Amino acid sequence: MRSVVKAVSIILIFMLIGSLHTSAQVSATANASVTLITPIAITKTVDMNFGNVAVGASPGTVVLAPAGTRTATGGVTLPVTTGTVTAASFTVTGAANYTFSISLPSSSITLKSGANSLTVSTFLSTPTPTGTLTGGTATLNVGATLNVPANQAAGVYTTDTPFTVTVNYN
């Protein structure tokens, strides 16, 4: 009787330990997540063009706003025949509703006509200083100031190398 009880007890203990061991391991399933976004890109759609500019005996400037309107200062005048006047325009694409920073040329660039040259400085953009990719796209317009010395030689002045506008996600 005593040994039977002992044997049953031992079996019980083993069963108890055995079952607790099997149920001792537990697992949890968890989520991991990441978001990938479209790389930002910028494409030029329109070149900057100051149009026709008449020089005078004193220096002056032509301020071309990002909206494409011109204002003359100093000895410079704007002929009735305007020629082609356009602010530069860029299309920026990327992740919808992300904002981006805009980097414009920080120093002046040079336009040349043969041996003669002019400088363009003070670049401005719309939007500024950041833009938003509404629906994944944004239009970026860039204007600048053309600096015209007195009695500048006539000619068609263009850049040797294009100026650079850089955008990046904020």
Partner 1 sequence: MKTLRTLLVIAIATFGFATTSFGQLSATVSNAQTTATVFTPITLTNSTTLKFGTFVSDAVDEKTVIIDANDTRGGTATAYDLGQTPVSSAIFKVTGTPNATFNFTLPATTTELGGPSGSKLSIASSSWVTNLASGTSVGTLSASGSLDVKVGATLTVPKSSPAGNYSGTYSISVNYN
Distance CA 168, CA 40 (A): 7
- Region binding partner 1 by CB under 8 A among candidate stretches 4-12, 82-90, 106-114, 159-167: 4-12
Q: Pick between residue 21 and residue 57 the one whose CB is nearest to partner 1.
A: 21
Among 69, 73, 110, 169, binds partner 1 (CB under 8 A): 169
Among 46, 63, 85, 95, binds partner 1 (CB under 8 A): 95
Establish if 134 lies at the interface with partner 1 (CB under 8 A).
Answer: no
Among 59, 66, 83, 99, binds partner 1 (CB under 8 A): 99
What distances in angstroms separate CA 87 from CA 10, 65, 123, 139, 143, one per listed residue? 93, 7, 11, 12, 5
**Contacts with partner 1 in 5-34 (CB under 8 A)?**
5-6, 9, 12-13, 16-17, 20-21, 23-34
Q: What angle do CA 124, 127, 132 make, to 5 degrees?
A: 145
* Residue 20, helix vs strand vs coil: helix
Least distance to partner 1, CB of residue 99, Å: 7
Distance CA 90, CA 33 (A): 34
Distance CA 90, CA 103 (A): 13
Chain residues in the site for partner 1 (CB under 8 A): 1-2, 5-6, 9, 12-13, 16-17, 20-21, 23-40, 95, 98-99, 169-170
